[in-house]
Structure 1
Amino acid sequence: MLLAHRNTRWQFSTEQERSSFKWDVQETTTVFADGLVEVRSEFAGPRGASTQPLHARTSGRSSVDPEHVPVRLSPAPVEDFLCRAPEFGDWQVFAPFLAQQGHEPATTVVLNDVSVDEGSGPLRATGIEQLFSSGACDTPDGPAVVEPVDAGLLRITSGQLAVSDPGWIREPRTVAVPPGEFLVTLSLLRTTYGVDVAAAKVTFSDIPPREWEMALRPDEDLGLLGEGEFYGVGVDTGTVAFMDATRTVIEDELDEDLFIPLDGRFTVELPGTESEPNLIAFRAGRGDGSYPVWIGRTDDGQVGCVVVDFQLHSSGGGE
């Protein structure tokens, strides 16, 4: 069952005051589990309610002294404020509450299927393969040339690939992959503005991916994303790195060993010690931000590659 615990109604003098939310009276009804009903009536006063912020008005706070807010207490059967928990689409359950607000609910509700725009929903992995295909292409900045280059072999020892800003690897995006050494490839994009890293890929299989999925953390839900949105790797140093999930870095040495060398290069490798795998870092497109990480899976569901797309080829990008 559902309990209508709190209900707030506002009274306006005119439609114009309604549009600007300058209410005359705010009445809040609260129903408690023991059957006691509390009704609090707040009056805006001669200057109206416009002097109060919306969050204050809707949360029950106002310039009126709480001790002088009219409060009415009365007993009532809790059953009067209960309704059964509805199945999806069974909106008629809420009709009595709408009637209490002064609405006239329809006697029936008709649900119709609607077409879903192909471009709606979370960001999709489109054209990932083309990011690493040599040749001319069109970008929002005009004609460009794609040039894939090798960035070295990444050594994975733990079976977990981590994708992160090397200056902040406390919460990396991780992907379960086989241990071994795997080629890292950068996609350089040459435009009239210069050369940037458009994407980076670490390849685990020679079999081309059949489908792509967004790399997610356990607490992330695609269903919560709006159109064009994505969960991505956060970048605050202009740099992203592929590494084994057990790899650690000495932050005091990053400037000298990684960030300064990247001023004149596209990629830098931090070799591993006897007990640590290596780390391959590269420039993040044109700077800081958040970028999608895609997992390419083969026909049998295995991870074929992992790609970071810096979205230099797309006109819009996501959030």
Structure 2
Amino acid sequence: MEWIGDVRLAAGSEAAWYLETVFTPGEQLGTVYDDPTTPVMVTGIEEVCTMRVPSGRLVVDAPWHDDEARNYERGLPTSPPRELAVRIPPGTYPVEIAWTAGPYEFFGERFDGVACAATRLRVSDEPVAGWEMGLGVDDDIDRLQPGEKPRFGSDANVGCFADAGAWTALSTPFRTYVDGMQVPYAFEELPGWCERVSDESRQADLVTFTAESGGVVWLGRTDTGDVAVIVVTSGMSGSKA
């Protein structure tokens, strides 16, 4: 049976175009801001690591928020993370970054304009038949306003994928401070300024990635409605070609 999603969550034509184009090396994603003559090109897709999601429940959020970190330090209650309502099969999945480049000049100096345009968790290799916004477990679809895109925020321009079942252990290192200074924690440094933190007792991981001011979560679904990919975008790069 062919999957039919909720029209209130479906990606519009521009968002769908972006999601398809941003993971296609060699395609033009748009043009440099204020310079319509210089293209922003997708230069490649990089697998930064694999991550374990044994619970099948996924958090897509900032690994910490300033207010939450302060509450944690003071022993006050903290809010739950933004866990997706959708479930995926327990397993190990690759995390990939879409890189773009759009050279520009600033105060007489030239820059290559290399940037992370989107990050994805690739659940399967099945073709994507349609895109929809990924709701959190606490989101109410009936309260969505036309054009509204639910998103997570980030005080430090960092987002993460994490196994929800191990969230407390995985996120604690980001929230632990002594005398206002973050306590050093064990992590694996990855390409693209990413990090992986692991909880070996649960065989679960948290992987950080760049997310300017947070991001919108998109689900790429197959013809049968299965989730093939989960993508985070922080905004369009340049303007559509």
- Per the TM superposition, whether the score is higher than 0.5 is yes
Task: Compute the displacement of 1:204 (Å).
Answer: 1.0
Provide the C-alpha distance between the structure 1 equivalents of 2:40 and 2:194, rounded to a whole number of angstroms.
Answer: 21
Question: How has the CA–CA distance of structure 1 residues 122 and 299 changed in structure 2, closer, same or farther, with 3 Å as cutoff?
Answer: closer
Cα distance in 1 between the residues matched to 2:221 and 2:56: 16
Aligned twin of 2:122 = 203
Query: How far does residue 136 in structure 1 lie from its aligned partner after superposition?
Result: 4.4
Q: Write the distance in 2 (CA, Å) between the matches of 1:275 and 1:281.
A: 18
Question: CA 1:281/1:173 → structure 2, altered by over 3 Å: closer, same or farther?
Answer: same
What does the per-residue CA deviation read over 1:101-149, in whole Å, with 9 as the maximum and x for residues that have no partner? xxxxxxxxxxxxxxxxxxxx98633121211111141234341221211
Aligned residues: 191
How far off its partner does 1:273 sit? 1.9
Does the alignment pair 1:274 with 2:201? yes
CA distance 1:255–1:172, shift in 2 (3 Å): farther
Alpha-carbon distance in structure 2 between the residues aligned to 1:302 and 1:165: 25
Q: Residue in 2 aligned with 1:53?
A: none
Shift of 1:315: 3.8
8 A Cα contact 1:189 1:196, kept in partner: yes
Q: Kindly provide the amino acid, as one letter, of the partner of residue 133 in structure 1.
A: T
Q: Does 1:230 align with 2:140?
A: no
- In the alignment, the residues of structure 2 paired with residue 281 and residue 136 of structure 1 have an alpha-carbon distance, to the nearest angstrom, of 26
Whether the aligned pair in 2 keeps the contact of 1:122 and 1:222 (CA below 8 Å) is no
Instruction: State the Cα RMSD in Å.
Output: 3.0
Match of 2:163 in 1: 244
Who is 2:76 aligned against?
Answer: none
Residue aligning to 1:4 = none
User: Partner residue of 1:139?
Assistant: 31
Q: Is 2:232 the partner of 1:308? A: yes
CA shift in 2, pair 1:238/1:198, >3 Å:
same
Taking structure 2 as the reference length, the TM-score comes to: 0.69
Cα distance in 2 for partners of 1:199, 1:257 equals: 27
Contact 2:152 2:216 in 1 (8 A): yes
Shift in alpha-carbon separation, 1:255–1:191, aligned structure 2, 3 A: farther
Q: Which amino acid aligns with 2:83?
A: R
CA displacement at 1:231 relative to structure 2: 0.6
Deviation digits for residues 42-93 of structure 1, max 9, x if unmatched?
A: xxxxxxxxxxxxxxxxxxxxxxxxxxxxxxxxxxxxxxxxxxxxxxxxxxxx
Q: How many Å apart are 1:292 and its aligned residue?
A: 1.3
Q: How much does 1:300 deviate?
A: 1.1
Give the secondary structure class of the aligned counterpart of 1:278. Answer: strand
Deviations 1:180-201 (A, max 9, x none): 1011111112222522211011
Q: Flag the structure with more relative contact order, 1 or 2, with Cα contacts below 8 A and sequence separation at least 6.
A: 2
Question: Cα–Cα, structure 1 residues 186 and 222, in superposed 2: closer, same or farther, change >3 Å?
Answer: farther
Distance 1:133 1:122, change over 3 A: closer
Question: Which residue is equivalent to 2:56?
Answer: 159
CA offset at residue 220 of structure 1?
2.5
Cα pair 2:83 2:164 within 8 Å, conserved:
no
User: Distance in 2 between the 1:245 and 1:176 partners?
Assistant: 11
Secondary structure at 1:241's aligned position in 2? strand
Over alpha carbons, which structure has the higher Rg? 1
Instruction: Give the corresponding residue for 1:8.
Output: none
Q: Percent identity?
A: 29
Counterparts of residues 56-205 of structure 1 (less than 5 Å)? 124=12, 125-127=15-17, 128-137=19-28, 138-141=30-33, 142-146=38-42, 147-168=44-65, 170-174=80-84, 175-193=86-104, 194-205=113-124
CA distance in 2, matches of 1:191, 1:151: 22
Partner letter of residue 22 of structure 2? L
Instruction: Using the TM superposition, give the Cα deviation of residue 256 of structure 1 relative to its aligned residue in structure 2, in angstroms.
Output: 4.2
Distance 2:186 2:10 in 1: 34
Cα distance in 1, alignment partners of residues 239 and 41 from structure 2? 16
Structure 1: which 5+ residue stretches go unaligned?
1-120
Match of residue 216, structure 1, among 110, 135, 140:
135
- Work out the CA distance in 2 between the residues paired with 1:139 and 1:223: 35
Alpha-carbon displacement from aligned partner over 1:258-291 (angstroms, at most 9, x marks no partner)? 99x68x943111123222501111111xx32x42
The 8 Å contact of residues 139 and 312 in structure 1, kept in 2 or not, is answered as no
